[in-house]
Structure 1
Amino acid sequence: MKCVSHQQACQLFHNKFIVVLGDSIQRSVYKDIVVLLQKDKYLSVKQLKSKGEMTFEQDCLIEGGCLNPMNNGIEYKEVRQFQSAHHLVRFYFVTRIHSRYMQSILEDFRHGLKPDVVIVNSCVWDISRYNSSWITDYKENCNKFFDELSLSVPEETLVIWNLTMPLGERIKGGFLVPEIAHKAPQLRYDVIEANFYSGTLANSYGMDVLDLHFQFRFSLQHRTHDGVHWNALAHRRITSLLAQHTAQAWGVSCPLAVVEVLRADNSNYRCPLPSNYFSNTDSHQPKRHYNDYREEFYSDSLPSGFLNFEENNPRQQEPRHASARASRSSAQPQPHLPANRRQDKHADDRNSSNYRPPRHIEHQQYVMRSRHTRHHYAPYTHHRPRQHNHHGHYYY
């Protein structure tokens, strides 16, 4: 399996603030990102199964988890944060895509540090724990969430909506309390329907959609025995897809390669990355510079082309969103309306009770396309300490 390396991940997310929102699978997505930013190593089984622990791979528990009585209820909270000299990753456990708690999270974005990347999914709890007739509620909550998220983060923020991964025919897990056990056989079909609506809606809001259900439909051997969660290999694949998607959105070349990754017992999974992997053998090829940081971020004296993941004879790559928008505008002429009228029209359409998102979603190799170019920007305005705060406070 080809995957992103520790070196690539550190370069791609240098001086970036990543937020992960979602359930236990999204928590494992967060954990794999935290591990990869420190070393080429997979998550252990124990790390995948653990929840609410005080610390994980030098991160810290900010709120909830073992600080409160542990439970499998819809009010369970867990906020984690990993901070290094050049990376900040935060995770919020959520059981519903729109709620008072989600509104408080969005309030953090409005008044606190602005995230560069938001990776979000909420589905299985939404469609199983709140209402037997889940469709209407889930649609309304998704609309509310995407509306409020659009107002809470800058336009440059890359928002990636992960579609829910395939469920097994027989499932068990913390969310599946005895009161809803009868729903288990139907949930895998409900997830497909929920994915279709949420993915279409996210795309209509100009957000990015990573179709993990499609990507893992033939990789069910990596699903654990509970029929819901996935093993460490699957999560490294998810991280690689997210990294490659982010690189495409930012116009950075990020080729995957077979890399040396260690298990928890320090035994190898794959062969090492070639020593000349990042070298450019064509001396006449012009260097590309990742030069969109603000001035205060040049104090670390990064080497030229620090974020160029180059193979032999690399070619210049424009941001994927820009090319998609250009091709769409040339193929489909837009009506000649003033900009403010077009915006009002879209807002009226979304607020209408008969609104249905457009069905035309174009798949690329890894993702559904988005509507906007995502510009590089780094929100940190001062140097961060090399050690994170262990006292349970948010870093701003």
Structure 2
Amino acid sequence: MVFCLENEEPRLPLRSAMVHFQASEVQQLLHNKFVVILGDSIQRAVYKDLVLLLQRDSLLTAAQLKAKGELSFEQDQLVAGGQLGELHNGTQYREVRQFCSGSGHHLVRFYFLTRVYSEYLEGVLEELTYGPAPDLVIINSCLWDLSRYGRCSMESYRENLERVFVRMDQVLPDSCLLVWNMAMPLGERVTGGFLLPELQPLAGSLRRDVVEGNFYSATLAGDHCFDVLDLHFHFRHAVQHRHRDGVHWDQHAHRHLSHLLLTHVADAWGVELPKRDYPSGQPFPPHEFFNYNSTEDFSMSSHLGCGPGVNFVPGPLPPPVPGPVPHGQHRGPVVHRGMPRCAPSSPYHVPRMGGPCRQRLRHSDRLIHTNKLDRQPPAHSGTWPG
């Protein structure tokens, strides 16, 4: 992360640092993997785009992005909630979806959350404990937490973040990769379904509350050695792909998000990504994907240690070792990496991991070995070699 003073020249948007995956490559990357996605409607769209990309190289339609609780989407199945129950915008809304490929080699499940930690989440964790163990967990919950649970929502959010990371530590196997998706930037005017009409006065402060919530969630996830993908950073200049409700994003943004996420996962698993040349004059994503807008900068509160007049902009990690970058080969996404993971068994040859991998320490072990960890060299940044 970097902190930029207001009087500095605005930074031009960075070119995307990711690989453009094809459906066949996603199928190979997630071969025999169980993926669990938890979160709100944004994460539901993450689930839908991944399910679609596991089957073919096409984008979601506007109708598919807007649909909620449908009985079936692209060969998946509504397991609970949604149209099997009652469609509403209350905090008790539930929706559980699951996709199993025809080959039986890909399993993706989605749980709708309205709060990052709750009795309902405990039920989800119990399912994951006694069912098949997940290989990849992707999670985010922020907007509902900060807007639907009273005046002390930020304090409750911080406490619940600590609870959920402790519980994930206890429940998930050491080989499971957990990626915390930071909340994406909101528009100046928010009219999403989660924000009831009587809560509209909160819309003005909510976009800054999201930045503060992202700060806490990324810090706590890092403390628990989980991975963080900074979507707020990646999409801060792609606001033309955000819908008019100020919350949701179009199909191009979600495909961009999927590529960032899959690049991160491949790096964490030590999978060597494909190197290909793209057609001349057609970089991906196009330059038009990003559009710098100075009004989209966010100022952090002084109690976070940034002081007044300082813009908080999550920035890229240190650059990789200098070297030639062939055309079409991209560096990894901006991520905040926890401890190096133990690579699960997979069909891939892993040339990048020469020595034995380290297990993710349990919470109690980290408390004991805090001083030792502080003296160790920093973990791998997740940036692809040049």
* TM-score (norm: length of structure 1): 0.69
Distance 1:258 1:167, change over 3 A: farther
Deviations 1:131-178 (A, max 9, x none): 222221011100110111111110100000000000000111110101
Distance 1:6 1:186, change over 3 A: same
1:318 matched to 2:335: no
Which residue identity does 1:67 align to in structure 2? Answer: L
Measure, in 2, the Cα distance between the counterparts of 1:206 and 1:340: 9
Distance 1:131 1:227, change over 3 A: same
Preserved CA contact (<8 Å) 1:170 1:226: yes
1:266-345 to 2 correspondences below 5 Å: 293=345, 307=348, 316-318=351-353, 343-345=366-368
Distance 1:167 1:341, change over 3 A: closer
The equivalent position to 1:74 in structure 2, one of 91, 95, 103, is: 91
1:188 matched to 2:242: no
Preserved CA contact (<8 Å) 2:70 2:83: yes
Distance 1:228 1:365, change over 3 A: farther
Gaps of 5+ in 2: 1-15, 280-284, 287-327, 329-342, 371-377
Measure, in 1, the Cα distance between the counterparts of 2:275 and 2:240: 22
Distance 1:79 1:345, change over 3 A: same
Which residue identity does 2:30 align to in structure 1? Answer: F
Deviations 1:215-246 (A, max 9, x none): 11111111111110011111111111111111
Measure, in 1, the Cα distance between the counterparts of 2:68 and 2:142: 19
Gaps of 5+ in 1: 261-268, 271-276, 278-290, 295-305, 309-314, 326-338, 348-359, 367-396
Preserved CA contact (<8 Å) 1:203 1:209: yes
Preserved CA contact (<8 Å) 2:41 2:112: yes
The CA deviation at 1:3 is 2.1
The SS at the match of 1:105 is helix
1:123 matched to 2:142: yes
The CA deviation at 1:343 is 4.2
The SS at the match of 1:200 is helix
Deviations 1:175-199 (A, max 9, x none): 0101211100111100000000001
Preserved CA contact (<8 Å) 1:161 1:208: yes
Distance 1:340 1:256, change over 3 A: closer
Preserved CA contact (<8 Å) 1:96 1:123: yes
1:21 matched to 2:38: yes
The SS at the match of 2:272 is coil
Distance 1:322 1:106, change over 3 A: same
Deviations 1:264-320 (A, max 9, x none): xxxxx99xxxxxx9xxxxxxxxxxxxx9648xxxxxxxxxxx646xxxxxx942389
The equivalent position to 2:80 in structure 1, one of 63, 76, 98, is: 63
Distance 1:4 1:259, change over 3 A: farther
The SS at the match of 1:75 is coil
Preserved CA contact (<8 Å) 2:21 2:259: yes
**Sequence identity percentage:** 47
Give the corresponding residue for 2:250: 231
The SS at the match of 1:42 is coil
The CA deviation at 1:4 is 1.2
Distance 1:253 1:150, change over 3 A: same
Which residue identity does 2:94 align to in structure 1? Answer: K
Deviations 1:192-219 (A, max 9, x none): 0000000110011010000000111111
The CA deviation at 1:22 is 0.1
The SS at the match of 1:160 is strand
Give the corresponding residue for 2:187: 168
The equivalent position to 1:114 in structure 2, one of 133, 148, 156, is: 133
1:206 matched to 2:241: no
The CA deviation at 1:254 is 1.6
Deviations 1:53-89 (A, max 9, x none): 0000000000000111210000000000000121000
Preserved CA contact (<8 Å) 1:18 1:88: yes
* TM-score (norm: length of structure 2): 0.71
Preserved CA contact (<8 Å) 2:186 2:247: yes
The CA RMSD over aligned residues, in Å, is 3.2
Which residue identity does 2:227 align to in structure 1? Answer: D
Deviations 1:322-368 (A, max 9, x none): 59x9xxxxxxxxxxxxx998645479xxxxxxxxxxxx9996559xx
The equivalent position to 1:32 in structure 2, one of 44, 49, 54, is: 49
Distance 1:128 1:340, change over 3 A: closer
Measure, in 1, the Cα distance between the counterparts of 2:380 and 2:113: 29
Distance 1:38 1:199, change over 3 A: same
Measure, in 2, the Cα distance between the counterparts of 1:177 and 1:34: 30
The equivalent position to 2:114 in structure 1, one of 95, 111, 120, is: 95
Which residue identity does 1:317 align to in structure 2? Answer: R
Measure, in 1, the Cα distance between the counterparts of 2:143 and 2:351: 41
Which residue identity does 1:137 align to in structure 2? Answer: S
Give the corresponding residue for 1:5: 22
Distance 1:240 1:258, change over 3 A: farther
Measure, in 2, the Cα distance between the counterparts of 1:320 and 1:140: 37
Measure, in 2, the Cα distance between the counterparts of 1:82 and 1:319: 35
Of the two, which has the highest radius of gyration?
A: 1
